Structure 1
Amino acid sequence: MLKELQPQPKDKILMLMEMFKADPREQKVDLGVGVYKDANGVTPVMRAIKAAEKQLWETETTKSYTGLAGDPAFAAGMRELVLGDAVPADRVAAAATPGGTGAVRQAFDLVRMANPDVTVWVSAPTWPNHVSILKHMGIPTREYRYFDDETCAVDFDGMVADLDGLKAGDVVLLHGCCHNPTGANLTLPEFKKVAEILNAKGAIPMIDIAYQGFGDGLEADAAGVRHVVSACPESLVAASCSKNFGIYRERAGVLMAIQEDAAKTAVAQGTLNHLNRQNFSFPPDHGARLVGMILADDALKADWMAELEEMRLGMLKLREQLAEELRKLTGSDRFGFIAQHRGMFSRLGLTPEQVEKMREDHGIYMVGDSRFNVAGLNEKTVPLLAKAIAAVDKV
């Protein structure tokens, strides 16, 4: 039987990593992998995580199973962090998952259970794994226009026009903030308009928020999410702790299902528990417990927020530096959008051929659609990237 298996397509980012490692040039820059890096190229362990780990090491007495939904303190902390007071707590069912990706997968399972004929609408473009998982699960998808390659901004008119094709029971996948791969985000008024469309069509929002705190700040980054969940009777939110807590390998995520009626929350919670049981039984605990500890402790939370803000401002500074370097080199504001985008990523609007030329001629590695990781830069490598972009842009 196993001999019938066919080779699967290689992940483009992992292939890029292999190419980067094999490149003998000393002056090379990796802007493909989606992890935060400091000025020294290191993905640091945050101070609050270190402190919480020390506390846990000193006090933890067992490694026995948690509940099927994970540590309740983690779910409560993440509900408050992401949703604030947008909806009453008794309308929210929540379950810990293996990272944000696990939350996304569980959400897709949940909507298929609720509506076997569901169609999931995704932005064009979206995080490639969204589409990959949906295809693997056999769930029909449709795209809505989102990013304008000419302006490198959100094509909101196109988005609205496409969402007119929604039917009742469809799910619309939105990015809560720091859109991956483009860095171009909906404004709060645009989120409000989307919520109106969803309600008029009887469609349900599913929001993937993986970068809260990396854009305009913790509260501002959650504003769109909070409006949508408060305005729509039902919604799903998949949240990741990988980036904003720096615990990528610990795989800490959460799926929240917001009900119209609190009386139905128990059924939703039982369904989330059931899905966890079918897929991996009990979710990973270490990272989730650290996050729960930090969010429940005023001192740890304050230190985490301070370090997260340092990271956010550092990325903004790199964006502004790159936009200014390109302004000098090109004599135009064509790349001014880089300073306006938010989060770890931006999409430059270059062709795959131009991206390949930057790799071959300048040792600059980024994904073929010209998405690059801002956090992979530092003050010294920004000029290198700017020169490479300016050089290929003339071709």
Structure 2
Amino acid sequence: MSPASLFMIDASHDPALRSWVAGAHTPDTDFPIQNLPLGMFRPAGSSALLRPGVAIGDRVIDLLAAVQAGVLTGAAADALQGTEAGTLNPLMDRGAAGRRALRTALSAALAEGSAAQAALQPCLHALDAVELGLPCRIGDYTDFYTGIHHATTVGQLFRPDNPLLPNYKWVPIGYHGRASSIRASGHAVVRPHGQIKGPNDEVPVYAPTRRLDHELEVGVLIGGGNALGEPIAIEQAEDHFFGLVLLNDWSARDVQAWEYQPLGPFLSKSFASTISPWIVTPEALAPFRAPFGRPAGDPQPLPYLDSAANRAAGHIDLTLEVWLQTAQMRADGLPHERLMASNFTDAYWTLAQLITHHTSNGCDLGSGDLLGSGTLSGPDPKQGGSLLELSLGGKQPLTLANGEQRTFLQDGDSVLLRGHCARPGAVRIGFGACEGRVLPAHQRG
């Protein structure tokens, strides 16, 4: 793996490149022609199978219709074979070559002056007229703990004298999550029940969580897995990286506090996870790669987690944000209010290191598997990626612009994650919305 081959900048990244799709040029669009993220869609209100699409501006391209129209041919058309079944997994199985062929063909067809405009125009749908689903079948989900600022702050809440455990800076910490409860942006989250035992309670109670929280994460999707017993070396790890999504790994903090010892989170995390529906590909992210390094005095990664390419460009310069809208704000016509911002480069481990470590014991990954980064907080206390941090464990309520306060999420609250990459000399790209609204707990007898 070499930085030159993996992170190559080509004509599809040219800042001067423009599309004949008018909405691709608005200053705040997440989807200029330099992005071209992949997802699955269908007409709003339809029960039809999801179809593969690419977002550009305020439109989505029906990729199968583009094949039928003769716009996508050869390797680009071959890459989409099997996706008519309602998932991107067949494309993910083909690895980087098919994905790159598709991007190259689409970039040329969508560029100003393209001869394909007339044929491709009928294949476009308004984004506000479609329903977006999960982009792929997620067979397995592993949640890591790469946010060192989050780990330190949370550790200080519970272990003031020893916030980081001795293994943290040596091994990427993770646990096996629940893939069946992952949903795309827009799906509501029902407040879960669980066993809760407060510090002054003699026995636990079974009740709705009182400390519902969000977690700001990045999701890494796998494209092309490995055979059981055959680890992926870090030099090849990025060959198995299909793209990134935003991830909100909702958490019931009071349930978690009672259940997590000795085996870690269980029902406090498995009730819901929300991802953004558009997969931003490694090719779109190439201009935003950043060096990876450790602070002075920290241990260097063990040799199996180290490579020249990972040191040169293992990180991704991705700004992450959490926005909140309460039920009262919605009733008053007020938009979401930003709570914080951080960056993916704040992660202590890179995505290549996560893939390598996950398979280092011979564990097999499959196309569509999801690796969560863990909560990505910044170094400043106001950059906490969860309410647990921002409210100091519920001791310091946040006051919103309208005067409302929050320590943890209340029914009716909407949490919106956003992310974008921006650098001088490159066109800004974004991830679209990752939003979920909290519904009241179901009544139990």
TM value normalised by structure 1: 0.24
Which structure has more relative contact order (CA 8 Å, sep 6+)? It is 1
Structure (1 or 2) with the greater strand fraction = 2
Structure (1 or 2) with the greater helix fraction = 1
TM value normalised by structure 2: 0.22
